[in-house]
Amino acid sequence: METTEENIIIIGGGFGGINLAKELLKNPFQVQVTLVDRNNYNFFPPLLYQVATGFLDVSGISYPYRRLFRNHSNFHFRMGELLEIKPDNNTVVLTTGELQYSKLVLATGKESNFFGNDNVKKHALPMKTVADAIYLKNAILERFELATRTTDPAERQKLTTIVVAGGGPTGVEIAGMHSELKANILEKDFPELSGLPFDIYLIDGLPTLLGPMSKESQQYTHKSLEAMGIKIRLNELVKDFDGDSVLLGSGMRIATKNLLWTAGVTVHVFEGLPNEVYGRGKRLIVNEFNMVTGTSNIYAIGDTCIQTTDQPFSNGHPQLAQVAIQQGKNLAHNMHLASRQQVLKPFHYNDKGSMAIIGRNKAVADLAKPHAHFEGFLAWLMWLFIHLLSLINVRNKIKTFASWVSAYLTKDQYLRMIIRPEQKDSNIGCAKAEQ
C-alpha cells in the first residue's frame, strides 16, 4: 500500500515529547520528526532539586537532543520557542522561524503558577527549569556568603532562613535536602555562622503534606520532617513576599530572603487556538486519542492536556511523568496504526503509584497495583532505583549513581560553586533565554 510521508512536529522535549519521538522513529512508516524546544537538551525534572542543592551536576540529569537522535536521518531539531499556531495553513511560528506540519503535537509541560501575585513572582525562587535550579543554588549560596559578612543579627537570620511553599513531592524533597545540608555541611563550610538556627519552614494550603498520596505516607512524611527540624505550617497560604519577609494568610510573618516556590503549576496558552479548546487549568481538551477538540491534526500530551474519556480519571489525569510517557507512546502507536488505516487505540492510564524521598534513608512509596505502601529505608531504595532507571541514557545513570554513592558515604558533596553565566552577545539569534 502506498503511503505519503508524514511531517510531524513535536513542541517540547520533556517526558511526553521524547517518548513520542523515540517511538515514532522506531516504526517503519514514512515519517519526518521535528522536535522543537527552547533548550538544546532534555533534562530530568524530578532531580532538579538535587541540582538546586548542589548534590548533582547539571550534566548528570541532562542530555543533548542532537546527540540522542543522531542516528536517525529522519529526525530534525529546531531550537526555539513557539509563538503562534496557524491551523488554517498548518504552520507554527517560532522565535527562530516558521515550520510546516502535517501533524502537530503540543508537549510543553507545565510552568510555575504564582496565582497572580506579582510580588511572589518577582522575589521567589521557582524550580521548574535547569536555569531555575542553577539560579536557586547561586542565590542561596550568595546569601549565606553575605550572612558571613553582615554584623546585623536580624539580617543574618533572614539570609539563612529558608521557606518552602508547597507540600507536594518537590516541596518535601527540597525541604528535606536543605535539612540534610543544615545537619551535615553548613556549619563546616560556614564556621562564621556557627550557632545560627538555619530555620526551614514548609508551607502548604492543604491540611496534609503529599495530598494525593496515602494517609500512611502523609503521616510518615510529616513525622519525619518534623524530626529533621523542619517547621511545618499547614492550612496556610502565602499571601505576599516582598523579598524581606513572607506573609501568610493567617497573618503570620516569617522574616526571610529565601522563598522557594513549588506551590503551583500552570500550562502555556497557545496563540492561534480558540478559547473553547481549553479546559480546567488552561489544559487543552483532547479526545481519547489525544487529539485537541475541534481540530483534525493537532494533538496534546502530558501536562499540556486534559483528557476525560479515561473512566477512572474522568476529571483528567494527574500531571505526572508517567502520564506523559504513556500518552507519548500511545500516540506514536496510533499514528503508526493510522498510517495503515487500522483502528486506533484509546488511551488508558496505567497508574503505577507515586513516591517521594524525604531524606537520608527516608522515603514513602504507594504502589497502585498491587495496592501497597512502603516507607523508610525500603521506600528510599525503591525511589533511588526507579529514578536511576528513568534517566535518559547509560552515561547519566552512571554519573548520577556515582554522585549518590559519594554523597551517601561522605554525607557531603562538592558542587557548591557559585557560577554566574554571562551573556556576552544578546543578539546571538537563538531562542529567548529562560526566565
In DSSP notation, 71-96 reads T-TTEEEEE--EEEEEGGGTEEEETT
**Closest-CA residue to 13 (of 328, 323, 296):** 328
For residues 165-171, average pLDDT: 95
- Contact at 8 Å (CB) between 301 and 327? yes
Q: Give per-residue pLDDT as tens, 93-146.
A: 999 999 999 999 999 988 888 888 999 999 999 999 999 999 999 999 999 999
- pTM of the full predicted structure? 0.91
**Confidence label for 281 from pLDDT (cuts 50, 70 and 90):** confident
When pLDDT is averaged across residues 384-410 and rounded to a whole number, the result is 93
Give the tens place of pLDDT for each residue, 19-62.
Answer: 999 999 997 778 999 999 999 999 999 999 999 999 999 999 99
Q: Which residue in 241, 244, 228, 113 sits closest to 166, CA to CA?
A: 113
pLDDT over 70 (residue 298): yes
Is pLDDT of 246 > 50? Answer: yes
pLDDT of residue 304: 95
d(CA 358, CA 225): 7
Band of the pLDDT at 433, cuts 50, 70, 90?
A: very low
- Are 54 and 366 within 8 A, CB to CB? no
pLDDT of residue 413: 83
Q: What does R_g of the chain's alpha carbons equal in angstroms? A: 23
Nearest to 305 by CA among 322, 317, 294: 317
> How far lies 370's CA from each of 352, 362, 367, in Å?
9, 22, 6
What is the tens place of the pLDDT at every residue in 344-360? 999 999 999 999 999 99
Where does 28-151 show beta strands of DSSP type E?
31-37, 41-43, 62-64, 75-79, 82-86, 91-94, 97-100, 103-106, 110-112, 125-126
Q: Which of 366, 331, 363, 367 is nearest to 347 (CA)?
A: 331
pLDDT at 111: 85
Give residue 11's Cα distance to chain centre: 16
pLDDT of residue 268: 86
Closest CA to 170 of 116, 121, 133: 133
How far is the first Cα of the chain from the last one, in angstroms, to the nearest whole number?
A: 49
Structural domains in the chain plus CATH codes: 6-38+80-112+266-339 (3.50.50.60), 118-263+353-410 (3.50.50.100)
Per-residue confidence (pLDDT) for residue 431, from 0 to 100: 42
* Residue 18 pLDDT > 50: yes
Q: Express as a percent the part of the chain with pLDDT over 90.
A: 84
| pLDDT higher than threshold 50 for residue 251 | yes
pLDDT higher than threshold 50 for residue 3: no
